[in-house]
Chain A
């Protein structure tokens, strides 16, 4: 099935390190249904580039990251790392072929074996591949990630803070000299001050080793800060792929705008800013039975008939900026999405769609919410973690 997101945005003429086409991840449920975690997404990664994947829980961003790592292999689709196709390989072949690709996970403490010491944790990767690891190498990599080797070498994960454990995880990944790093919410369990340290560290490593990175997170500002390009996902689909510079002004997809509007910022908010909004949106439809056509239409202020029938394809609306929305370029699209039942009191932008939308808003809350709650409960893992 051509999933409607299209693959015109792939840059075959450039130095691609990783090419993912038509990636589909589905999880069977008890009742014989399927959770559509990722439904045919395509993206590529150039050497030295960072691609941010942004979305809320349940949007499929983590499932996509894991499928690229073959953890587990995707239901269908292709993952090419440099010249090697990873899907369809035997387990042992996958293990050796994906070595240049390393992953950093969200919870650094549970990602480490609690019974091993830092020096063994760090050396584990190369040792599996039969390489001798010298003490000096371990010390070097630990200093590189900002840990004092003399202090932490003999510690175990529970003797360290979350930030320190995340540094150890990064050191483990770096030991295998990767070309691609997949970071799945690497800073979302950390405090702001530590988060900044880890983000800086990842940037440093990327620059020094010319790494390519996939950075998966739900925090718009964090993703924007570290990425060259941002891919926004919703319910297993790609909404928008855009250069991250000027993301807030550039965003065209109504979902991206909704995300941007929801970000609470510590910068000075004037009162009007706070007052804006109202009841913004309903909740995520069930990934067991996603809406027809555009999957965002049940929450979209611009939704119309065509959105129900036809799935929008990614279209290039500006150089390097791809949007999957039928209405993103309708006339002078307002830079901020018109959301909320009363529309936007300041600009008075109450489109007909928005008004109609508001009228049915309540019904939709129920439908969407009910389907999430009652049906999506059994396949909790897939639905919750996205």
Chain B
């Protein structure tokens, strides 16, 4: 029953000249109760212009992963990071603070969840933008201001010139998030990490912001890591999707394949737990019983096993590795990877 290939195929993040390589990334946070393994062995790569969606529930490690890739979380203090993050061949984790300041903004930008706290309440919108611009180029005040206006225009803010002299509190949440995006894009980064960029926004505004991100990505050709707890947000927007559970990827696949043909039972269960618009009302939802594991002391073997209906004896010993589906014609980044000994198959759609 176990997928036994004579030579186990490993996910190799270095193939195909990627923009970003994340190799065996571990991020531990020291807590009074022990080391919390927030990210516990994540490997993937990202090509130029590609969008990777990362979904998972709270505590799955998706945000910590994003921040570690960004270099915001590093070894020292109560953090312990191991593994590699290479952006255009440069190791983010071994950079000095000065080097990181050079990379942030010009090579990698970040959009955070809450646009209110991401902006300084006592600085004008224009100051936010020009300080970023001046940090990375020799623009003088006037040129920087003009560029700032261009940027606001780019993210669809009407009357950009007037907006430059406004404070964050004078704008609505959706407009603020546009400003945050403009700041992140100010120096044409190659990679944008968007951590729950629309979670604080209403659905109609959410759609506008996601459309905007998608448009800008196409225009500017950057790679994007889109982190969200909402599968729907990621579904139409990402080329590939990684489903995180308890600090690891349970499944990593091209978006269409993932949603059409999920192999990991966690992915399948997650999809089944979402209420669907097409269903008649009062349909009982297929909930996932139990709760995610405590990451100070995670279970041996597959971390989803305690909640998995298809779990068997062998799931509880050795953690499953990511293996590709047997569609060998799909190479490299197009491959569909999953970490499960008893994957969902079409013969047993329920997985039982």
Which B-chain residue is minimally distant from A368 (CB atoms)? B172
Q: How far is the CA of A377 from the CA of B202 in the complex (A)?
A: 18
- On whether the beta carbons of B203 and A248 are closer than 8 Å, the reply is no
Q: Beta-carbon contacts of A210-252 to B below 8 Å, as 1s and 0s?
A: 0000000011111011111000000000000000111110000
Q: How far is the CA of A277 from the CA of B282 in the complex (A)?
A: 31
Contacts A222-B275, A248-B277, A374-B170 given: A259-B203 contact, CB under 8 Å?
yes
Contacts A56-B203, A226-B281 given: A221-B208 contact, CB under 8 Å?
no
Question: Is the CB of B205 closer than 8 A to any CB of chain A?
Answer: yes
Q: Which residues of chain A in 347-385 are interfacial with respect to chain B, using CB atoms and an 8 Å cutoff?
A: 362-363, 365-366, 369-370, 372-374, 377
Question: Is the CB of A260 closer than 8 A to any CB of chain B?
Answer: yes
Contacts A226-B281, A274-B236 given: A377-B208 contact, CB under 8 Å?
no
Contacts A56-B202, A259-B204 given: A193-B273 contact, CB under 8 Å?
yes
Question: Is the CB of A203 closer than 8 A to any CB of chain B?
Answer: yes
Residues of chain A with a CB closer than 8 A to B207's CB: 261-262, 264, 277, 280
Contacts A192-B57, A274-B236 given: A262-B273 contact, CB under 8 Å?
no
Contacts A196-B287, A266-B259 given: A224-B211 contact, CB under 8 Å?
no
Contacts A163-B291, A191-B58, A196-B287 given: A224-B256 contact, CB under 8 Å?
no
- On whether the beta carbons of B208 and A280 are closer than 8 Å, the reply is yes
Q: How far is the CA of A273 from the CA of B204 in the complex (A)?
A: 16
Residues of chain A with a CB closer than 8 A to B275's CB: 196, 199, 219, 221-222, 224-226
Residues of chain A with a CB closer than 8 A to B284's CB: 200, 203
- On whether the beta carbons of B270 and A192 are closer than 8 Å, the reply is yes
Question: Is the CB of B229 closer than 8 A to any CB of chain A?
Answer: yes
Distance between B135 CB and nearest chain A CB, rounded to angstroms: 28
Q: How far is the CA of A219 from the CA of B286 in the complex (A)?
A: 18
- On whether the beta carbons of B277 and A260 are closer than 8 Å, the reply is yes
Residues of chain A with a CB closer than 8 A to B289's CB: 197
Residues of chain A with a CB closer than 8 A to B208's CB: 279-281
Q: How far is the CA of A139 from the CA of B266 in the complex (A)?
A: 32
- On whether the beta carbons of B206 and A203 are closer than 8 Å, the reply is no
Distance between A57 CB and nearest chain B CB, rounded to angstroms: 6
Q: Beta-carbon contacts of A180-205 to B below 8 Å, as 1s and 0s?
A: 00000000000111111101100100
Q: How far is the CA of A193 from the CA of B245 in the complex (A)?
A: 12
Distance between A229 CB and nearest chain B CB, rounded to angstroms: 9
Residues of chain A with a CB closer than 8 A to B282's CB: 203, 225-226, 228
Q: How far is the CA of A307 from the CA of B208 in the complex (A)?
A: 25
Question: Is the CB of B310 closer than 8 A to any CB of chain A?
Answer: no
A-B contact pairs, 7 of them (CB 8 A): A192-B229, A192-B231, A219-B203, A264-B233, A265-B276, A268-B260, A362-B158
Question: Which residues does A use to contact B, with CB under 8 Å?
Answer: 56-57, 161, 163, 191-197, 199-200, 203, 218-222, 224-228, 244-248, 258-269, 273-274, 277-281, 283-284, 362-363, 365-366, 369-370, 372-374, 377
A-B complex: 4 closest residue pairs judged by Cβ atoms: A264-B232, A196-B287, A225-B275, A266-B231
